[in-house]
Amino acid sequence: MLNLIFFGPPGVGKGTQAARVAKYYDLVHVSTGDILREEIKLETELGLKVKDIIASGELVPDEFLIEVLENTCSKHPGAKGFVFDGFPRTLRQAEALDELMKRQDCKIAKVISLEVPEDELLRRLVNRAIEQGRTDDTAEVIKNRLIVYQKHTKPLIDYYKRKNIFIEVPGVGTIGSIFASLCKVIENH
Ligand code: AMP
């Protein structure tokens, strides 16, 4: 199995690259943001509970995410591996993922962090909000999402560095050139 985590702040291009990598290596792409947005669209119980939290840019409580993770992974018993995108975002989620991996007798091969300068990040987030009409990406919410990332998610860098699986890849360039760098990292490390 090949299990990868795509790591980085909002707007760094994780979603685009995670989808491409998953397709290319025949892995299951798990975007928790997409899953939660779908729950909201379908007005499920979970969707109704998380709607306001997502709109504010805060994190959805860990217990909901851990349930989403377990449900999603159990839907793909024969998967060649998973590309986690937007998960984990807290230490508790990272530990839950480790436990799930252990239970399945597999592990996270690499945590790939896309690196983009902060001013470029903001520019991308504002553009995405305009282009995709993402209601979770207003100027105020964008700022909050970046603060939430610094506070809750960035500390995971040390967690994965200690495991020796954290790898940084430049996230600036064309989609194709970034993808090529990612493939090199995935195949050569
Ligand atoms: P994303 O599309 O990954 O940026 O996620 C959009 C929003 O969904 C985030 O701002 C959070 O409110 C929520 N969300 C997605 N993934 C997680 C997660 N792993 N933990 C907590 N909240 C999450």
Q: Which among 54, 63, 150, 156 is the best mutation to test ligand 1's pocket, defined by most ligand atoms within 8 Å of the CB?
A: 54
Model confidence at 182: pLDDT above 70: yes
Q: CA-CA distance, 85 to 28, in Å (whole number)?
A: 11
Model confidence at 122: pLDDT above 80: yes
pLDDT in tens, 56-81: 999 999 999 999 999 999 999 999 99
Model confidence at 17: pLDDT above 90: yes
The whole model's pTM is what? 0.95
Q: State residue 49's pLDDT score.
A: 97
Say if ligand 1 is within 6 A of residue 40 CB: no
Coil vs helix vs strand at 2: coil
Closest by CA to 121, choosing from 48, 13, 35, is: 13
Name the pLDDT band for 133 (thresholds 50, 70, 90). confident
DSSP track, 79-93:
-S-EEEES---SHHH
Q: CA-CA distance, 22 to 19, in Å (whole number)?
A: 5
pLDDT in tens, 43-61: 999 999 999 999 999 999 9
45 CB-contact burial (10 Å; exposed 0-12 / middle 13-18 / buried 19+): exposed
CB within 8 Å of 155: residues ≥ 6 apart? 91
Which residue owns the Cα nearest ligand 1 atom 8?
33
Say if ligand 1 is within 6 A of residue 89 CB: yes
Coil vs helix vs strand at 44: coil
Model confidence at 24: pLDDT above 90: yes
Element (H, E) at 120: helix 118-132
Which domains occur in the chain, in start order?
4-180 (3.40.50.300)
Ligand 1 atom closest to 31 (CA): 3
179 CB-contact burial (10 Å; exposed 0-12 / middle 13-18 / buried 19+): middle
Q: CA-CA distance, 53 to 153, in Å (whole number)?
A: 17
**CA angle at residue 40 from 34 to 43, to 5 degrees?**
145
In the reported structure, the alpha carbon of residue 36 is separated from the centroid of ligand 1 by a whole-number distance in angstroms of 8
Ligand 1 atom closest to 58 (CA): 12
